[in-house]
Structure 1
Amino acid sequence: MNSIVIVCDTLRVDHCGPYHHGRPLNQVMSAEQPDWVVPTPNMDRLAKRGTTFDRAWGGSTPCMPARRDIYTGRYEFLERGWGPLEDNDLDLPRQVSGPPNQSLTWQLRQGYPVSYMVTDHFHLWEQGAGNYHMGYTGFEFVRGHEADAWRTDPVEFPCPDDADHKVERHHRNVHLTRKTEEDYFCAQVFTQAADWLDKNRTHKDFYLHIDCFDPHEPWDPPEDILKMFDPRGYDVDGWKSMVPYDKWDNHFTPEQLRHVQARYAAMVVLTDKWLGKLLDKLDELGLWDDTMIIFTSDHGTYNGDHGRIGKLQTHQHDACGHIPFIVAHPQYGQGERRSQLVQLVDIYPTVLGAAGRPCPPERHGVDLLPVLRDSGATTRSYAICGMFGRSVTITDGDWILHQSPVPENKPLYWYGHSIAKFIPYDLGPYENGRRTVDCPSWQTPTWLSDKRSDPNEYANLAEERPDKLVDMQRALVSKLLELDAPEEQLERLGLKKRASVER
């Protein structure tokens, strides 16, 4: 069976039609969201053909750590942060397509399926992470998004952001290349993917990976779509395409925040529109009969929730950690929903299962094909996620715990020979397979919420419900032990004594 995995970066679950069901945003998850409805007819169209998972959580965050979860089927954030694939990583494309640097003729003769990536995600090539494309049979890189160091023409161009910020590259690239909506990056990505299907549809059990950077910032959607949410369009004072990762009222008035929210919503609508280009091609080629599609995101973003804008900066509350996850299978679960906990690490064994390839041992992911066949099948009792060196989140879908580290946030080690290049960490020398890390944590208390009554986790019940706090901490200890996480994580999180009891 063929597989297509679609990852749309920074896609909030409450902006996706299969999750908001046509309700205004402020009635879905967070009253701090605007009262408009975000139409995503193509996500709805995909959900009608597939299984929508209501309890999907990312894993490692932000962008590249989440992708390493996908590529390796293992959580990265307990061992290190943002970095490249390392020599001992059994990355997914190579598990599908075999050893790299072989001819396509050799690959097909040996019985390996073809794998291909279409992306505009510059971080895949950026220093410190630039080797995620190497395992594919082939790839297409759509140039110019965000900080892609592409065009250098010495021209005058409109740049709404600080000219010293790296996103200046984006606006220079856009000025020199964008003429119509077809030139927007998500449009190019889905068009290129559809063209690949047109030419490669006869490959048996192929794996197509589509990594679309939108709706990640910079948020500069077409003005006609923006006016669906803010009638002023771009006729506003001092708009910027990027947002600070901070409390929003340190930077915006309520009116300015609403314009930011409008630009994000418009980027979601634009991305959904061009997703339709790919779905149309699947219709045209009749590929639904032998192709599994997984549609998801790496994480969401704060957009007014908890008084914040942008991601990172605090716990992985629902606006960030909860992600859309839809699997359209040719035979199973069409138009159905599932409440089982699923995560990005599950993509790895699921794609290999669909391609008929063996899954290596010691993966953290779960093959979702049995869950698609049988609504009563199990996945995991708890999902876990976090950012390296920060708090660790665990949830059973009803309750959620964000466990903060002790004030000194030590001991902490970075495992692997690669160093931190994108997100800076103060790392010591490489010794015995690891480096010491000096990483101040967020000054945020341990947080416990009941998601059944408080989906966006506004009420911290850690003091009010000490019994449940203990239950969830025990679950976290058990999960860390199950994952064979570095033992110092228990000490760093203030759970070492509890772990000794659990053992």
Structure 2
Amino acid sequence: MRTVLVLMDTLRREALSCYNPETIVKTPNIDAFAKEATVFDRHWIGSAPCMPARRDILTGRLNFLERSWGPIEPFDITLPKVLRDHDVYTHITTDHCHYMRTGGEGYLQQFNTWDYHRGQEGDPWISRIDEPDNMPETFYGRVRRQYQLNRTQWPNEEDMPSPKTFASACEWLEDNKGDDDFFLMVEAFDPHEPFDVPDKYMDLYGGNTGLDRDYYEIPQYKRVSEAGVPESAVDYVQRRYAALVTMTDHWFGTLINKLKELDMYEDTMVVMTTDHGYFLGERDYLGKNYMHLYNELAHLPLIIKFPHGERAGEHVQQITQNIDMMPTILDFMGIEIPDSVQGVSLKPLAQDPQAKTKDYAIFGYHGMAVNLSDGHHTYLRAPKPENQPCYEYTAFPTTIRRVLGVECPEKIEMGRYFKRTQYPLFRIPITKPGIIDQSDEPLKEVLETKLFDICADYGQTKNLAGVDSELEARYIELLSQALDAYDAPQEQKERLGIQ
């Protein structure tokens, strides 16, 4: 059997018409795909942001309860490794630059072969000592010198990294069109910022008018009111995001068309999803990582064309997460699912609309709030003000662009802490969550526990925590059970004040 998994970084659910008929974003190829596939309406984030989400996908386990952003661990049982052990060929093509940075070790090497397309974000690619001559004089947000150098290398749309990723996938399919039993992962960094997009796509959304400065492609991860960004600039960056989604949709369409052209589409499982959402001014927020995992970040798109088009055009209401991708793919391949996997196979849903998945989704950033949704309510449990005790467990103590524990080596312990492995691990005390440790007040946006009825209040505007004590007690108990079910380190309950 053949499987193609398409991961688009930062794809907001509400941008897609199959979820939001009111959207202004033009995605004709995803729209057409959704009609031929099955749309999952209650798909939730697991671990956030980028690399934790990828470890979720590749291991079928939640990363965030044990550690923050980091590499594949030596004891991880990964989807591509299991497939390779069963003679299923695995390949990934990507422009996701974090695989090449400190904290992204070991992911690509799980595959038989991998292809990387350079230049996104701050990828240290084009080497020039002198300042680039394309630096804007006035701008909102941030400008990356390295990115300005990199972007000189793509004079045409097809030269840009995400288009090259999709084109590379099409070439790989062409080269292997007579073969079966493969897993192809197509991972586009777009529509992640920088929201760099050719003018022809901006023209669909009012062009480049309305901005009183030269540049706004990389929002600061701040409240709008703190970033000094006017309403006109927020409107502009929203249109840039929409334009980039449309460009990404175009290249997704080339991949689907290639599968059809090669007569491989009908009997291939095609999965399309993302890692997390993004704030573009909603709730006064820009970016991600520092705020609660509201629906804008946590409620994700998932669209699956099952191998023979089962349940095409239908919507699924069962709860799902990206940790379900590994068991689903293995199940369809007829391969036994490892005991370490926490996700559930979605294969039964291909035949039975009433098939059970799970009662809730648990999700979060390491060292911040721990969250749970059963599809009716979402509970965002804040940590205690001191956020202690808090540890990262790892055999490879790297995280995003740095090494863990250098400020407290004398406090690092080592032992065998996990039931699933005898591999010795570092237990590193953490005083600031790794993903936002550059902030002097890293937890200021998540120190209030929140509980929302997302059926009656999808916009999450009415906090029921502290108001409906009986309802909150139910979710405290459910969260406590979930922490046990997902093998969370015991100090997580103490850190959250729910012992």
Task: Give yes or no for TM over 0.5.
Answer: yes
Please, which of 128, 146, 149 is the counterpart of residue 124 of structure 2? 149
Structure 1, unmatched stretches of 5+, are 25-36, 99-110, 497-503
C-alpha separation in 2, matches of 1:233 and 1:265: 15
* Paired residue secondary structure (2:217): coil
Deviations 1:157-177 (A, max 9, x none): 313499x978322221111x1
Tell me the distance in 2 between the aligned counterparts of 1:165 and 1:238: 12
- Asked whether 1:431 is paired with 2:407, we answer no
SS at structure 2 position matched to 1:143: coil
CA shift at 1:134, angstroms?
0.4
The secondary structure found in structure 2 opposite 1:438 is coil
Give, in whole Å, the separation in 1 of the partners of 2:313 and 2:80. Answer: 29
- Find the partner of 2:188 among 212, 222, 230: 212
User: Which of 324, 329, 336 is 2:314 aligned to?
Assistant: 336
Query: For residues 17 and 145 of structure 2, what CA distance do their matches in structure 1 show?
Result: 33
Which residue of 268, 289, 292 corresponds with 1:315?
A: 292
Tell me the equivalent position of 1:190.
166
Matched, 1:441 2:430: no
Using a 3 Å threshold, how does the CA distance of structure 1 residues 234 and 121 change in structure 2: closer, same or farther? farther
The corresponding residue for 2:435 is none
Alignment partner of 1:350 is 2:350: no
- Taking the aligned partners of 2:202 and 2:142, their CA distance within structure 1 comes to 24
- 1:129-177 per-position Cα deviation (integer Å, ceiling 9, x unaligned): 1221001111110111111111114563313499x978322221111x1
- Determine the C-alpha separation between the residues in 2 that align with 1:132 and 1:312: 22
Structure 1 residues 236 and 313: alpha-carbon distance in aligned structure 2, compared to 1, 3 A threshold: same
Measured against aligned partners, the alpha-carbon deviations of 1:439-487 in whole angstroms (never above 9, x if no partner) come to 2634430011111122131221213322211111111111111112111
The DSSP-based 3-state class of the residue aligned with 2:481 is: helix
Determine the structure 2 residue equivalent to 1:77: 64
Is residue 109 of structure 2 the alignment partner of residue 97 of structure 1?
A: no
- Partner Cα distance (2:337, 2:19) in 1: 31
Residue deviations 1:386-405, cap 9 Å, x none?
00000011001111000000
Which residue matches 1:421? 399
Aligned to 1:65: 52
- Structure 2, unaligned runs of 5 or more: 416-424, 433-441
Residue-by-residue CA offset, 1:320-362 (whole Å, 9 max, x unaligned): 0111001101331111110000001001111112222222102
What residue is the counterpart of 1:389 in the other structure? Answer: 367
For 1:78, the aligned partner's letter is: L
In 2, Cα distance between equivalents of 1:285 and 1:75? 36
User: What residue identity is the alignment partner of 1:193?
Assistant: A
Whole-Å separation in 1 of the counterparts to 2:351 and 2:74: 36
Query: For residues 256 and 165 of structure 1, what CA distance do their matches in structure 2 show?
Result: 13
1:5 is paired with a residue whose SS is strand
Amino acid at match of 2:17: G
Q: 1:453 to 1:423 in 2, by over 3 A?
A: farther
Instruction: Pick from 373, 377, 383 the counterpart of residue 405 of structure 1.
Output: 383
User: Is 323-332 or 435-444 further displaced after alignment?
Assistant: 435-444
Q: Aligned residue for 2:221?
A: 245
Name 2:33's counterpart in structure 1.
Answer: 46
CA deviation vs aligned residue, 1:14-43 (integer Å, no higher than 9, x gap): 00121112x14xxxxxxxxxxxx1111111
Pairing 1:453-492 to 2, within 5 Å after superposition: 453-492=456-495
User: Is the CA contact (8 Å cut-off) linking 2:199 and 2:207 kept in structure 1?
Assistant: no
**CA shift for structure 1 position 59:** 0.3
CA contact (8 A) 1:2 1:354 kept: no
| CA deviation after TM superposition for structure 1 residue 202, in Å | 2.2
Asked if the contact 1:82–1:423 (Cα under 8 Å) also holds between the matched residues in 2, the reply is: no
State the secondary structure of the residue aligned to 1:431.
Answer: strand
Counterpart-to-counterpart distance in 1, 2:77 and 2:43: 24
Hey, what's the Cα distance between the residues in 2 that align with 1:480 and 1:235?
47
Instruction: Map Cα deviations across residues 242-298 of structure 1 (whole Å, 9 max, x no partner).
Output: 111111122200111111111111111110011001011011011122210110000
Residue 493 (structure 1) aligned with residue 496 (structure 2)? yes
Aligned to 2:263: 286
Q: Distance in 1 between matches of 2:206 and 2:197?
A: 12
Whole-Å Cα distance in 1 between the matches of residues 413 and 28 of structure 2? 50
| Alignment match of 2:208 (pick from 232, 240, 246) | 232
Q: Is the 8 A contact 1:52 1:336 kept in 2?
A: yes
Query: What is the rounded CA distance, in whole Å, between the counterparts of 2:490 and 2:459 in structure 1?
Result: 31
CA distance in 2 between partners of 1:233 and 1:158 (Å):
20
Distance in 2, matches of 1:159 and 1:324, equals: 35
Give distance in 2, aligned partners of 1:150 and 1:334. Answer: 43
CA contact (8 A) 2:102 2:398 kept: no
CA RMSD of aligned residues (A): 2.0
Which residue of structure 1 aligns with residue 242 of structure 2?
A: 265
Give distance in 2, aligned partners of 1:471 and 1:301. 30
- The CA distance in 1 between the partners of 2:257 and 2:395, in whole Å, is 44
Task: Quickly say closer, same or farther: Cα 1:357–1:284, change in 2 above 3 A.
Answer: same
Contact residue 4 and residue 209 of structure 1 kept, 8 A = yes
Distance 2:208 2:155 in 1: 22
Aligned equivalent of 2:302, options 316, 325, 328: 325
DSSP 3-state at the match of 1:288:
coil
Separation of aligned partners in 1, 2:60 and 2:462:
33
Query: Displacement of 1:234 after TM fit?
Result: 8.4
Paired positions, count: 470
